[in-house]
Amino acid sequence: SNGRFLLNYGGTLSLAGNYNKAIEILKEAQNYNSSNNLYILLGNSYTELKRFDEAEKSYLKAISSIPNRLYPKYKLTQMFLKSDRLNDAKELALDICKSNAKVPSTAENEIKAEMKKILEL
């Protein structure tokens, strides 16, 4: 579908460092789909451009669409660190460390280990 193509194209542009074009394409993709991946990709692109308010809004949309997923919270925590919001990063890191996944995974363990380091800052 057109939405999936735009999502993939926007993601590729973001990975290639073409953040402004990625944002343009991903915003167009929102007309077809509102997956949490789309909002994570938007958040990543905004973060790279230091457009932290828009990044935060994008990550929060991803979090609200699937609240028990750690990855969007992890990305938001990283954005807080990049934007010198250590207290917000620590608050979210603590929330992540307290969460229990239905199915534990290596990725979850790695995220939690990184969050524990943030709590020590």
Residue 101 lies in a domain: yes
Whole-angstrom Cα distance, residue 97 to residue 49?
28
For 7, the domain range is: 1-53
Q: What is the pTM of this model?
A: 0.92
Domains: count for the chain: 2
Residue 9 lies in a domain: yes
Inter-residue contact 77 to 118 (CB < 8 Å): yes
Inter-residue contact 97 to 115 (CB < 8 Å): yes
pLDDT band at 20 (very low <50, low <70, confident <90, very high): very high
* Same domain assignment for residues 47 and 81: no
Residue 59 lies in a domain: no
* Same domain assignment for residues 40 and 81: no
* Same domain assignment for residues 1 and 28: yes
pLDDT digits (tens, 9 = 90+) for 28-53: 999 998 889 999 999 999 999 999 99
* Same domain assignment for residues 9 and 49: yes
User: What number is the average pLDDT over the span 96-109?
Assistant: 87
The residue among 10, 25, 53 that closes a domain is 53
Residue 61 lies in a domain: no
Residue 62 lies in a domain: no
* Same domain assignment for residues 40 and 12: yes
pLDDT digits (tens, 9 = 90+) for 55-71: 999 999 999 998 888 99
Whole-angstrom Cα distance, residue 109 to residue 11?
25
Residue 63 lies in a domain: no
